[in-house]
Chain A
Amino acid sequence: MDWIQNAWPWYVSGPMIALVMTLLLITGKSFGMSANLRVICAACGAGKKCDFFSFDWKVQRWNLMFAFGAILGGVLAVNFMNGAEGAEISAQTVADLKALGVASSGESLLPKEFFNLEFLLTWKGLVMLIGGGFMVGFGARYAGGCTSGHAISGLSNLQLPSLIAVIGFFIGGLIMTHLLMPLILG
Chain B
Amino acid sequence: MKFKIGIRYILIGVLFGIVMTKSEAVSWFRIQEMFRFQSFHMYGIIGSALLTGIVITAVIKRFGIRDVYGETIKFHDKEKSISRYLIGGTIFGLGWALTGACPGPMFVLLGHGFLIMFIVILSAITGTFVYGLLRDKLPH
A-side residues, CB < 8 A to B, are: 7-30, 33-34, 36-38, 40-41, 46, 49-50, 52-53, 58, 61-63, 65-78, 81, 83-84, 86-87, 89-90, 92-93, 96-97, 105-106, 109-111, 114-117, 120, 127-144, 146-148, 150-162, 164-178, 180-181, 184
Q: Which residue of B lies closest to A35 (CB)?
A: B103
Question: CB-CB < 8 A to A153: which residues of B?
Answer: 53
Interface string of B100-131 (1 = CB under 8 A from A): 11111011111111101101111111111111
Q: List 10 A-B contacts (CB under 8 A).
A: A8-B19, A14-B50, A15-B52, A21-B56, A33-B107, A50-B129, A93-B33, A155-B53, A162-B78, A172-B96
Which residues of B lie under 8 Å from residue A90 when comparing CB positions?
A: 33, 38-39
Chain B interface size range: 35 or more
Cα A12 to Cα B75 in complex, Å, equals 26
A contact face: mostly helix, strand, loop, or mixed: helix
New A-B pairs, 7, CB < 8 Å, besides A33-B107, A117-B116, A143-B91: A18-B56, A21-B56, A74-B21, A128-B99, A146-B103, A174-B35, A181-B98
Specify which of A65, A78, A180 is in contact with B94 (CB 8 Å cutoff). Answer: A180
Could you tell me if A166 and B89 are in contact, using CB atoms closer than 8 angstroms?
A: yes
Is B92's CB under 8 angstroms from A27's CB?
no
- The residues of A that contact B89 with a CB separation of less than 8 Å are 139, 143, 150, 164-169, 171-172
Complex interface: chain A residues within 8 A of B91 (CB): 135, 138-139, 142-143, 172
Name A62's closest neighbour in chain B (CB-CB). Answer: B9
* Known contacts A14-B48, A14-B52, A20 near B16 by CB under 8 Å: yes
**Contact between chains at B116 and A111 (CB < 8 Å):** no
Give Cα A45 to B25, complex, Å. 33
Which are the 4 A-B pairs with shortest beta-carbon distances? A73-B17, A69-B13, A168-B89, A172-B93
* Closest A residue, CB atoms, query B30: A87
Beta-carbon contact of A115 and B125 below 8 Å? no
Residue with the highest number of chain B CB atoms closer than 10 Å, among A8, A18, A138: A138
Known interface pairs A8-B22, A20-B15, A76-B18; A66-B10 also in contact (CB < 8 Å): yes
Please report the C-alpha to C-alpha distance between residue A78 and residue B114 in the assembled complex, in whole angstroms. 11
Contacts of A167 on B, CB cut-off 8 Å?
86, 89
B80 within 8 A of A: yes
Least distance between B98 CB and chain A CB atoms (Å): 4
Q: Find A73's partner among B21, B29, B30, B79 (CB 8 Å cutoff).
A: B21
| Bound Cα distance A49, B130 (Å) | 11
Contact with A along B49-68 (1 / 0, CB 8 A): 11111101100100001011
Please indicate the chain A residues that have their CB under 8 angstroms from the CB of B38 in the complex.
89-90, 92-93, 96
In the assembled complex, the Cα of A132 lies from the Cα of B126 at a distance in Å of: 12
A87, chain B: closest CB distance, angstroms? 4
Q: Which residue from A13, A128, A161, A174 sits with its C-beta under 8 Å from B45?
A: A13
| A136 engages B102 (CB within 8 Å) | yes
- Residues of chain A lying within 8 A (CB to CB) of residue B49: 13-15, 17-18, 21, 152
